[in-house]
Chain A
Amino acid sequence: AQTVTQSQPEMSVQEAETVTLSCTYDTSENNYYLFWYKQPPSRQMILVIRQEAYKQQNATENRFSVNFQKAAKSFSLKISDSQLGDTAMYFCAFIDSGYALNFGKGTSLLVTP
C-alpha cells in the first residue's frame, strides 16, 4: 500500500525564520507526482508546491522550496522568511497511478511573532 509519513506532528517557528517540514513516502512506481498542501483553519486545502518525480531539479515557489531525494523517497518542504499567515496544517501528498491524492497525516505549523 502506498503510504506517506510525516514524522513531525507539530512544529513552531518564529516570524522571519526558516523551517523545514519532513515527508517520506513509499511507492513502487517510477513516475509520480509529489505535493505539499496547506490547510488553514478555514479548511480550504491550498496547493503550495508540486514536484514531478522525473524532474531532478527541486521545485521552488517564492518562499517555498522542496528538497526531493528520489532514492531516499524523501520530499521535505522549506519555508523561508516565515510569516504569520503561514500558520496552518501542512500535508504532504503524492499521486502515482491514477489521479487521486494520497495524503500524510499532516504537520501543524505555528508561526510566532
Chain B
Amino acid sequence: EAGVAQSPRYKIIEKRQSVAFWCNPISGHATLYWYQQILGQGPKLLIQFQNNGVVDDSQLPKDRFSAERLKGVDSTLKIQPAKLEDSAVYLCASSFLGVRKQYFGPGTRLTVT
C-alpha cells in the first residue's frame, strides 16, 4: 500500500519569497491534515480537510498561509510571503473518514534565510 507522499523533501528560500508544498494522501482517505513542526517541538495542526472542505483552520496564519484540496485528493500548502519563523518541517497526514488513526508523510523541511 502506497503511503502519504510529499514533495519537495527540502526547500530553502529567502524571507519574503513564496513557497508551495504538495501532498498526496493514501488512496481512499477522506481526511487530510497539515502540521507544522518547529525544531524541538511537537507538530501543531495548521489545517484539516474533509474531502475538499475545511474542517479546522483555526491555527493557520491566514495572512500568509493558504491551503487547498481541489477534488478532495491532493493538497497544496502555500506560504506567501515567508518569514524566518516559518522555518520548520511541514507534515501531511491522512486518515479514513471518522477514524482516529493518521498516517504521516515524510515531511518537507523548509529553511527560510
Instruction: Report the nearest A residue to B31, measured CB to CB.
Output: A99
What secondary structure prevails in chain A residues at the interface with B? loop
Q: Which residues of B contact A4 (CB under 8 A)?
A: 42
Instruction: Give how many A residues have a beta carbon under 8 Å from the other chain's beta carbons.
Output: 20
Minimum C-beta distance from B47 to chain A (A): 9
Contact with B along A54-65 (1 / 0, CB 8 A): 000000000000
Which residue of the partner chain, among A91, A101, A105, contacts B45 with CB atoms under 8 Å? A101
Q: Is B42 a contact of A106 with CB atoms below 8 Å?
A: yes
Given that A99-B48, A100-B48 are contacting pairs, would A45 and B93 also be in contact in the complex, using a CB cutoff of 8 Å?
yes
B61 at the interface (CB under 8 A from A): no
Minimum C-beta distance from B97 to chain A (A): 9
Minimum C-beta distance from A9 to chain B (A): 9
CA distance A33 to B42 in the complex (A): 17
Which residue of the partner chain, among B40, B42, B103, contacts A93 with CB atoms under 8 Å? B42
CA distance A93 to B44 in the complex (A): 11
- Inter-chain contact count A-B, CB under 8 Å? 53
CA distance A4 to B44 in the complex (A): 12
Minimum C-beta distance from B104 to chain A (A): 4
Q: Is B95 a contact of A99 with CB atoms below 8 Å?
A: yes
Q: Is A42 a contact of B56 with CB atoms below 8 Å?
A: no
Q: Which residues of B contact A47 (CB under 8 A)?
A: 101-103
B91 at the interface (CB under 8 A from A): yes
Q: Is A44 a contact of B42 with CB atoms below 8 Å?
A: no
B-contacting residues, A20-72, CB 8 Å: 33, 42-47, 50
19 contacts between A and B (CB under 8 A): A42-B106, A43-B91, A43-B107, A43-B109, A44-B104, A45-B43, A46-B104, A47-B101, A47-B103, A91-B42, A98-B48, A99-B100, A100-B56, A101-B33, A101-B43, A103-B42, A103-B43, A103-B44, A105-B40
Further contacts, 10 of them, CB under 8 A, given A45-B91, A101-B35 = A43-B89, A44-B105, A50-B101, A98-B48, A99-B100, A101-B33, A101-B102, A103-B42, A105-B40, A105-B41
